[in-house]
A and B are shown apart, each in its own frame.
Chain A
Amino acid sequence: MMSTAIFVAFGILLILVLLMIARRKEVEEREGDRAAAPAQCERRNTLQGQELVLRIFSREDREFVLQMRSPRLQRMYKEERRKVALHWVRKTSREVRMIIRTHRLISRLSRNLDAGAEAKLLWQYLELRLICGLLVLFIETFGPHALHDLATYAGELSQLIGRTLPDSAAANRVASSENPGTP
């Protein structure tokens, strides 16, 4: 029964993929040629630098707004910053898609294409898309500073563990000296 379901699902999957091909318009296909044109083929390098990220996810801004002690202002700040952060992540995700799209459109014509390198690039691309998806989810759910808070918390936690580790090692040595038979 299980194998029946798998085979039927496989047949349906093939139909769905074929429908994707059928729905794809010729215009979209030709876009490929246009994208490969020299003017558009300029390798995109518009990913914003650290400065922009600094501004969007700035702790100083948050601290400043917190100092104002206005719940309305805090709410507005949180909402606006969340929108800007989401916009930035989505824009970055779009640019990653464009980078890989340009790569695909050129590499399909390349006679010396390296299948291994293509697989690695695909993996890198999927990894980036996953990170973007997770970032969107995080920002939507917890706000733009959640990641920083989490990183800070993790940092503090690891420092705490680091500080307690020598003590526990010493405690272990004491315990093992009390029980020489135990490892």
Chain B
Amino acid sequence: MLTMVIWWLAILLEALLLIRGFQEKLVRRFPIFYSYILFVLVEEFLRFSVYRWFSSRYSQVYWTTQFLSLVIGSTVIFEIYRVGLRSFPGAARMARYLLLIVFGAVFAKTMANPSGSLFWWIAERSLMLERNLRIVQALAMLTLVSLFLWYAIPFGKNLKGILFGYGLFIAMSIVQLTLSYTWGDIRLFWPYVQPVSYLLVLGLWASALWSAQPVPRGKRATQLEDDYEVLAASTRTQLRRALASLGWTARL
């Protein structure tokens, strides 16, 4: 009974998100995110129908749709990068380098360790596969968030909500999947834990995306943005001067 209530509540929130998205024209601003929500809504109906009328097939349908939603969900991270850094070309350039390093490292590790290769992942149990893919997502998310914090990127309420909600969903998935793999008892609570945490995320999204908020843009105020070399040299000189003045304390 409780499972059904959670299920219907999730469907309701997803539908509400979509309706508000269309009403507030947020769909145009975040097309990938709303496509993801639409996919999840369709997926919920599909799962519900299979659970009700073809329960023997539920497990297969669940893992197939879960994998698809994971792939589509990954593109939400791309949208966060695209929208968040649109008017910050310097930070966007840095993000590309960092993400390249992160994905390169993940790829290198996968190739270097035969037991940890992609094929092994696929052969492994679905839980492990999902957990590992969620970790890759989390790495990308962590890189982006650190960069946003470092460059003080303004988000606006809408993007902040998407970022916070999806990041929270990834983090909670990693914790749950890890614990359920090693601590089997959690599977007793699994039908409740995962949907309830997802409901929490949907609630966050519904609140953050209830109305369209203006997107803060970076204002070009100096000429220094155009000449990074001059900017970097000036900063370097000032830092060296600070280092020298700190060094005097020992030299006196």
Chain A interfacial positions (CB closer than 8 Å to B): 1, 4, 7-8, 10-15, 17-18, 20-22, 24, 26, 28-33, 36-38, 41, 43-45, 47-50, 53-54, 57-59, 85, 89, 92, 95-96, 99-115, 117-118, 120-121, 124-125, 127-128, 131-132, 135, 147-148, 150-151
Partner of A53, one of B89, B178, B226, B248: B248
**A15 CB to nearest chain B CB (Å):** 5
Partner of B89, one of A12, A14, A111, A120: A111
Contact B229 A114 (CB under 8 A): yes
The residue of chain B having its C-beta at the shortest distance from the C-beta of A115 within the complex is: B97
Interface size for B (C-beta < 8 A) is 70
Contact B249 A132 (CB under 8 A): no
The residue of chain B having its C-beta at the shortest distance from the C-beta of A111 within the complex is: B89
Contact A135 B228 (CB under 8 A): no
Complex: A105 Cα to B138 Cα, angstroms: 26
Contact A104 B151 (CB under 8 A): yes
Q: Which 8 A-B pairs have the closest CB atoms?
A: A29-B154, A113-B90, A11-B174, A110-B90, A11-B175, A14-B171, A108-B91, A7-B178
Q: Which of B157-201 contact A (CB under 8 A)?
A: 157, 160, 163-164, 167-168, 170-172, 174-175, 178-179, 181-183
Give chain B's interface secondary structure class: helix
B174: chain A residues at CB < 8 Å are 7-8, 10-11, 14
Contact A13 B226 (CB under 8 A): no
Binds A, one of B10-18, B29-37, B212-220: B212-220
Complex: A124 Cα to B141 Cα, angstroms: 26
Partner of A108, one of B153, B155, B175, B234: B153
Contact A109 B179 (CB under 8 A): no
Contact A44 B245 (CB under 8 A): no
Contact B97 A117 (CB under 8 A): no
A151: chain B residues at CB < 8 Å are 250-251
Contact B245 A48 (CB under 8 A): yes
**B231 CB to nearest chain A CB (Å):** 6
Contact B250 A32 (CB under 8 A): no
Contact B225 A111 (CB under 8 A): yes
Complex: A59 Cα to B168 Cα, angstroms: 56
Partner of A17, one of B88, B142, B220, B250: B142
Contact B152 A118 (CB under 8 A): no
Contact B222 A36 (CB under 8 A): yes
Contact A54 B168 (CB under 8 A): no
Contact A109 B225 (CB under 8 A): yes
14 contacts between A and B (CB under 8 A): A24-B149, A26-B157, A29-B154, A32-B152, A38-B222, A43-B238, A50-B248, A92-B242, A107-B90, A108-B152, A110-B231, A117-B229, A135-B246, A135-B249
